[in-house]
Amino acid sequence: MTSTIPAPTDVGALANRINFHTRDQHNKIDAQMSVKFAFAMKHGFIYRQGILAFYYIFQAIEQEIDRILENAETKQELQTKEILNQFWVDDFRRSDKILQDLEVLYAKEYPKKTDLHEFIQQNVLPMQQQAFVDYVHQGIQNSPTTVLAYCHVLYLALFAGGRVMRSTVYRSTGLFPKFPDLTPEEVVRRGTNFFTFSSEGVTAENQLRKDYKRGYELATRQGLTEEQKLDIIEVSNAIFEWNTRVISELGEINRQELMGKLSFKLITFALDEWKHTEKLSRKQKSLVLAMGVMIQILAMWWMLRRFF
């Protein structure tokens, strides 16, 4: 049995098998996330909706992990607990970190933490978000070892891409509210906990990632049946599909809410969405840009007529 992180060519490693069987899904959502993330950087209200959505998703996963670690009863729950104990530590938890970010992002609407927590508890999730949360709970309760799909797909995705995303957010200080006693840089640091796995710097994060991958591999190589591994791979594919649905749903919700509201917010939203559409050619995007300028001129004319 290997005692190190498996090589990419090691076909016996569960992580490699997941990566192989989800390659197409990964490439698809990676392209989508790159476009959507760049788009969200220009619209803070969209960015924080995305962060809020991932709060509920990671909360559901971690509720199930906690339940298994603290109250495992069935044979498969005990098996999963034994595997989790070999690599899972509190530094990986994201829901608590995301909550800290939401306290910054929603500070204007909910200056008191208790008010924000009440909003989060009472918030009615959009259909696809709620369906994903339900899928997490029901799936893990029916087949506890499938929690290992989330442990690989979502948490390692943050390890791999979180640092890049964090760097991008650092340069987008306009996403966050202004605080009189904090510099923009300090606000950003307080609002990017989701992408940060250690307060001790990059070296500590790299070591944490290595420990996680090594522990995951050692625990799953011999600790699972082939049938369980196939179930985990199947759920891994589903996670990518669910993420795509949740992200697409947020875009559709914002589009519908802003339609009919002739405002600068609507114009910039629509213009940026068109500019970031992958299907448009360079010539088409130039045309969209020209149309956007004309729309803004018409909007200004309309506003002047309305008020003067």
Q: Is 276 labelled as part of a ligand binding site?
A: no
Q: Which two tokens stand for residue 301?
A: 């004319």
Quick one: 132 exposed, middle or buried, by C-beta within 10 A (0-12, 13-18, 19+)? buried
For residues 289 and 223, give the distance between their C-alpha atoms in angstroms, rounded to a whole number.
56
Q: Which two tokens stand for residue 192?
A: 């990017």
Residues 6+ apart with CB under 8 A from 63: 137
Neighbours of 151 (CB within 10 A): 23
Return the closest-CA partner of residue 55 out of 140, 111, 110, 136: 136
- Residue-wise burial string across 256-289, b where 16 or more C-beta atoms lie within 10 A, e elsewhere: eebeeeeeeebbebbbbbbbbeeeeeeeeeeebe
Q: Which two tokens stand for residue 79?
A: 């098996």
For residues 70 and 84, give the distance between their C-alpha atoms in angstroms, rounded to a whole number.
12
The residue with tokens 């993420």 is 243
For residues 25 and 153, give the distance between their C-alpha atoms in angstroms, rounded to a whole number.
11
Q: Which residues are annotated as a binding site for heme b?
A: 26
Q: Which residues are annotated as a binding site?
A: 26
